[in-house]
Structure 1
Amino acid sequence: MTTTSYDAIILGGGAAGLMAAATAGQRGRRVLVVDHARAVGAKILISGGGRCNFTNIGTAADRFVSANPHFAKSALGRYTAADFLALVERHGIAWHEKTLGQLFCDGSARQIVDLLLAECAAGQVRIACGFPVRDVAHGDGAYRVTFGNEEASAPSLVIATGGPSIPKIGASDFAYHLAKRFGLKLVEPRPALVPLTLAGEEALFRELSGVSTEVVARVGKASFREAALFTHRGLSGPSILQVSSYWRHGEEVGVDFLPERGSGWLREAKRAAPRASLKRVLGLPDRLADALVERLALTGELANLPDRALEAAERRLADWRFRPSGTEGYAKAEVTVGGISTAELSSRTMEARRVPGLYAIGEAVDVTGWLGGYNFQWAWSSGWAAGQAL
């Protein structure tokens, strides 16, 4: 078997890997991308309902979960959302902004994949798809990768194979096994941006499957005001997906069902409409209001309900406690929290501190963004940072 030499080998043809490849290739580096899938960019293609939420104009390091909350600042500051947006516009891709700074393609997510492939072509990057990596070896200052019937070597190797979320598109924990092989520490991976499940007494809320309403969801110090959705298994919707990245097994999730209402609103409602029922003044979807009133055990006209009982109901509605039994796992998780420890990497270059020439980028690293384009921006920024250093 003959060995072909490159300046860098990138394992993984997702957002981060292709960005790193294009950046390094256009700097004159000879780059090889190897991906086990038959085509690159599978996760890009399914994102944003097929329109790819490719970045968020509100990107900042405090919108990422990591054992080191400062690690992402360097890469995010040097390759920004505005930089990627300029690239999108240079390729003539029409886009629009949805809520909370989220940017989407007007057309198809395929446009983002085509952009990355065009940028790789401009850098004469070789992309080898449909070839699982059979072996990775390191010695004499070179990394040797065996894939298919080929072997390639390079002084630099980039781990860009992501995390295990959404296994149906080929995602796996390959990055973690490779990191361990080179002695890199991991932060325990777990599903993130994932629906939460309810069991026991709380499973009664499953009867509300399909009901959605805007709430504030909280876990610890993290809180998000967006829609929550009841499902046949538990809780979902943007606000729940957001707090799931912070949630640990055994913790409670607090939900404010009426974030617009101030203190004392129920007593005021009683004075203004004494003959109204609690269900009526809640102003929530009927099935949800019925379920909450049933659990509060406050029926009849407000005039007949003691102020003390109304105050207690108000407090509970503002901080309704759920104790999830778990999550729907990697199969339904959009991303993975945890991964290769940032303590092992340079925040400027993404190179492993103790293993020269080894880099890790994107979702493989312990940096996980909020819902809404932040994880793609981390892919672009970390990929660009590594590409500049290769």
Structure 2
Amino acid sequence: MSQQQASLQLDWDVIIIGAGAAGLMCAATAGYQGLSVLVIDHAPKAAAKIRISGGGKCNFTNLDVSAKNYICRNPHFVKSALSRYPSNAFIELVERHGLAYEQRELGKLFCSERASDLIQILRTECDWAQVEFSLKTSVDKLRYVDERYQLQTSGGKFNANKLVIATGALSFPKLKATGFGYEIAKQFGLKVLPTRPGLVPLNFKGKWLERIAELSGLSLDVAVSAGGMRFQEAMLFTHQGLSGPGILQASNYWTEGEPIEIHLMPQVSVLDELKRLRKQAGNLNKWLSSFWPKRFVQFWQQLHPAPEDIANASDEVLEAYARQICEWRLYPAETGGYGKAEVTLGGVDTDEVSSKTFEAKKQPGLYFIGEVLDVTGWLGGYNFQFAWASAVACGLAL
């Protein structure tokens, strides 16, 4: 990987802005087509987001990927790329390089050791494809003249026949994430849909913040519902509110002012269990403790005092108590913002881009791939899989 700007040529077949997952994958794919490829990024290192994702082990894909795992104004947009480059294609790639990986719940695949092992694979592929790099390089001016793209950068002037925007989006600003890709889209007349943080913790204020903060560190297996979607995964109490996979998934569908609904025992039929407990004149506290940590049992009993004499509780009382457990409704104040978000919802309108080549329909030779587009995957490796798939589709079309 050359980073010596002084040695870089002026003219390229393809310039890719963004050295993240999509940018690296597209660069290698294009390079293997015999094209001269330059990747530009303003960050000092390539693939910073891969390095920190998945707790440093990078959840790089999922065994079960389909269009239903994505949020996009056009629900059909992702189908073409995902079908042409499915998750098993990426798995074959990393296996060829000897990457040790592990399967976790719900089909998630992670690096066994560290995410940097995956970055090294992508770097190696780019080296083999003779891709050149100019890192720590900002793009100061971009023009389209005589059917070529002219870039004025902090590392010099570069020209290209094709320009690929793989800049990512607004999540992880500490990794130098920006909205630069959106600015380029607007410069060439493409529509950009409103953005907001996605896969993000939900924060609370006032009395509910005080209550939840006292439970900080506790995790429960729950089902969280928001915006008509339901996710059964873990929920974590934090000092600011709620996090964990279940909450992050639901955050993509939550809108400010609306509630989230939490089923605190999704693995059991709560009303049937309460009736069985009544019949046996059992101990409700002991029963609750078989599902929840002691601290949460105490919290819950203060919030919703249990029937004093469960053996003589009416059906109505048990139904009301079951409903409280199955439909715990909370009103978050806000999300944790882009600083805590794993992805960005919204972005370049997919109606502006070909689903087969990712070329802008109204601007020849300009392509958009990965997270800069209005495509957001669920938690679980889906966003990386779209990065790989859109990058390969674009790289083959260049």
1:84 to 81, 86, 90: 90
Q: 2 CA distance for matches of 1:183 and 1:279?
A: 63
1:361 to 369, 373, 381: 369
Counterpart of 1:43? 49
Report SS of the residue matched to 2:10: strand
**Alpha-carbon offset, residue 299 of structure 1:** 5.4
Letter aligned with residue 302 of structure 1: I
Letter aligned with residue 151 of structure 1: K
Counterpart of 1:388? 396
1:74 to 75, 80, 85: 80
Q: 2 CA distance for matches of 1:142 and 1:360?
A: 17
**Alpha-carbon offset, residue 187 of structure 1:** 1.6
Query: With structure 2 as the length reference, what TM-score do the two structures score?
Result: 0.94
2:378 counterpart of 1:373: no
2:227 counterpart of 1:232: no
2:207 counterpart of 1:215: no
Letter aligned with residue 216 of structure 1: A
Identical-residue share of aligned pairs (%): 46
Letter aligned with residue 19 of structure 1: M
Counterpart of 2:358? 350
Check the 8 A contact 2:42/2:136 in 1, yes or no: yes
Q: 2 CA distance for matches of 1:148 and 1:272?
A: 76
**Alpha-carbon offset, residue 279 of structure 1:** 6.2
2:201 counterpart of 1:195: yes
Q: 2 CA distance for matches of 1:145 and 1:19?
A: 22
**Alpha-carbon offset, residue 340 of structure 1:** 0.6
Letter aligned with residue 298 of structure 2: D
Q: 1 CA distance for matches of 2:104 and 2:234?
A: 15
Check the 8 A contact 1:3/1:150 in 2, yes or no: no
- Matching of residues 166-181 of structure 1 within 5 Å: 166-181=172-187
2:35 counterpart of 1:29: yes
Letter aligned with residue 288 of structure 1: F
Check the 8 A contact 1:51/1:109 in 2, yes or no: yes
Counterpart of 2:281? 273
Q: 1 CA distance for matches of 2:347 and 2:22?
A: 15
Cα shift readout 1:199-223 (whole Å, capped 9, x = no counterpart) = 2342222211111110000112211
Letter aligned with residue 180 of structure 2: F
Q: 2 CA distance for matches of 1:121 and 1:138?
A: 29
Check the 8 A contact 1:277/1:300 in 2, yes or no: no
Q: 1 CA distance for matches of 2:98 and 2:81?
A: 25
Cα shift readout 1:153-202 (whole Å, capped 9, x = no counterpart) = 11211110101101111111111111111111112111111000112342
Report SS of the residue matched to 1:208: coil
Letter aligned with residue 73 of structure 2: A
- Matching of residues 47-126 of structure 1 within 5 Å: 47-126=53-132
Check the 8 A contact 1:298/1:305 in 2, yes or no: no
Report SS of the residue matched to 1:7: strand
Query: With structure 1 as the length reference, what TM-score do the two structures score?
Result: 0.96
**Alpha-carbon offset, residue 47 of structure 1:** 1.2
Check the 8 A contact 2:307/2:317 in 1, yes or no: no
2:308 counterpart of 1:300: yes
Cα shift readout 1:35-58 (whole Å, capped 9, x = no counterpart) = 011110100111112111111111
Cα shift readout 1:64-96 (whole Å, capped 9, x = no counterpart) = 111111110000100110000000011111111
Letter aligned with residue 237 of structure 1: G
Check the 8 A contact 1:142/1:155 in 2, yes or no: yes
Structure 2 gap ranges (5+): 1-5
Check the 8 A contact 1:205/1:291 in 2, yes or no: no
2:170 to 147, 160, 164: 164
Check the 8 A contact 1:3/1:151 in 2, yes or no: no
The number of aligned residues is 389
- Matching of residues 136-175 of structure 1 within 5 Å: 136-175=142-181
Q: 2 CA distance for matches of 1:308 and 1:232?
A: 36
Report SS of the residue matched to 2:44: coil
Segment of structure 1 superposing worse, 302-311 or 193-202 = 302-311
Segment of structure 1 superposing worse, 62-71 or 193-202 = 193-202
Check the 8 A contact 2:226/2:254 in 1, yes or no: yes
2:327 counterpart of 1:319: yes
Report SS of the residue matched to 2:214: helix
